[in-house]
Every structure is written in structure tokens, then in C-alpha cells.
Amino acid sequence: MAYEVVIMRDNVWRIEDGGVRSYLFAGGERALLVDTGFGTGDLKSAAAGLTSLPLTLVNTHADGDHIGCNHQFETAYLYPAEFEYYAQSERASENAKPLPLWESDIIDLGGGSFRFEVIHIPGHTWGSIALLDRVNKILVSGDSVSEGAVFMFGPVRSLRAHIASMEKLLARAGDIDAIYPAHGPTPIGAASIEKLRGAGVKLLRGELPALEPPFDIPAKMYMDAGHGFFY
Ligand SMILES: [Zn+2]
């Protein structure tokens, strides 16, 4: 399958994989690939066609639609709280060897280009992370901040932890102009963090109506101002 590749800004691409996307950042010395989609194509070649810089792969989390091409890479950086879930994935034995990324670690792409700080934001999964570039004011959010409904049912998820993570991100909102999520519209504004936090609080209080999801999942959909959860 051919990917749809769209330029976000200079040296930044989104690589669309039919409902989920990866992001590629080319810096002064190295490139950063964030997530690897469903695994329907040859993502490594697609990335190599966009930049010849040495590539670092980071997974925002280990849901199947974010690690689908991890078997094409030698190593992948994940938050250690995600290692166990990653090891349970379908192609675990073939997948890139996990390397740890910790809170406040910096991924510097060199030459004053992009410099991402790791922020642990559990809730969607135990080890979900966001990557914040304070100079370019970009937050790469994985699934944890997006428009539409965030998956919040099943064993690796915690709505209470997610609310706390949104509060953590709110403290950094002054450093964020654009959020790059893995699903739905992109980029979105920093206001989505507060909207999602508010939706989570209302959901816990039982203030949001249960809607039927648009596909067959063992959960209901709860929405508030265009943001919400499958829960
Ligand atoms: Zn996802």
C-alpha cells in the first residue's frame, strides 16, 4: 500500500496510514519518526525517501495501530511503563528492540532544529508519552490528545490517570501552539487539552450521555464539545 504523505511544515511530514498517522521530523543531524501505523506498507522505505538522515524511532505508546511497522526497525524508544504491553503485541518477537525513554529526556535532532522533551502522560495506556518541542511549540500527542473520542476502555487504560495527565499538560500549555495527534484532524490547538480534561471530569461525574459508537466495540461513546472517550 502506498502511504499518503503530507508536508506539515518545513522538514515535517505526516505519513497517513488510513485512519492513523506517523510523523517524521528531519533535523540538522538526525530524523525522528513517531509511531509506525497499522503496518500495511513499507514505512522504513517511505521515511528513507523523505530524508537520508539517520532515523530514531519513538512510539508514543504500544497500541497495535502505532507499532505496525516496528518489525522493520532495529530499535524503538518507548516509555518503560509500556514495555510489558509492547511485549504482548502481535509481532512481539519480530518487533524493534525496545529502548527506554524517561520523563524529561531530550531528543535533539541537531543544528537547532527540533528538540523534543518526553512527557509521561499515562491514561490511554500505562506508558503513553507526548513529545514537546518548546522552541517550535509543537506537542506530538499520540492518542492521548485528539479531537473525537479517545479509546478509554480495556485493561491498559485509566480515565482518572488521563485526567491527571491532562492537568500535567495544561501546566505546559503556554509552550504549545500546535498539537499533532495520531488520529483525526491535525494540527489542533492547545485548547483541546482543557476540553478533553473537562470531558473526562464530566464523564466520571456521570454528566455525559452514553452514545452508540460508530463501530462495534464493547464501550459507549461520551462526547463534550467535540472531545471525549470510548468508555
Ligand atoms: Zn491509535
- pLDDT for position 1: 62
Q: 65 CA distance to ligand 1 centroid (A)?
A: 5
Domains along the chain? 4-195 (3.60.15.10)
For ligand 1, the distance from its centroid to the CA atom of residue 123, given in whole angstroms, is 13
Q: How far is the CA of 66 from the centre of ligand 1 (A)?
A: 6
Q: How far is the CA of 20 from the centre of ligand 1 (A)?
A: 6
Please give the chain's pLDDT, 231 residues, in tens.
Answer: 689 999 999 999 999 999 999 999 999 999 999 999 999 999 999 999 999 999 999 999 999 999 999 999 999 999 999 999 999 999 999 999 999 999 999 999 999 999 999 999 999 999 999 999 999 999 999 999 999 999 999 999 999 999 999 999 999 999 999 999 999 999 999 999 999 999 999 999 999 999 999 999 999 999 999 999 999
Q: What does DSSP say about strands 75-78 and 227-230: parallel, antiparallel, or unpaired?
A: unpaired
- Cα–ligand 1 centroid distance for 166 (angstroms): 17
pLDDT score for 2: 84
| pLDDT per residue as tens digits for the range 175-225 | 999 999 999 999 999 999 999 999 999 999 999 999 999 999 999 999 999
| 93: number of Cβ within 10 Å | 8
pTM tops 0.95? yes
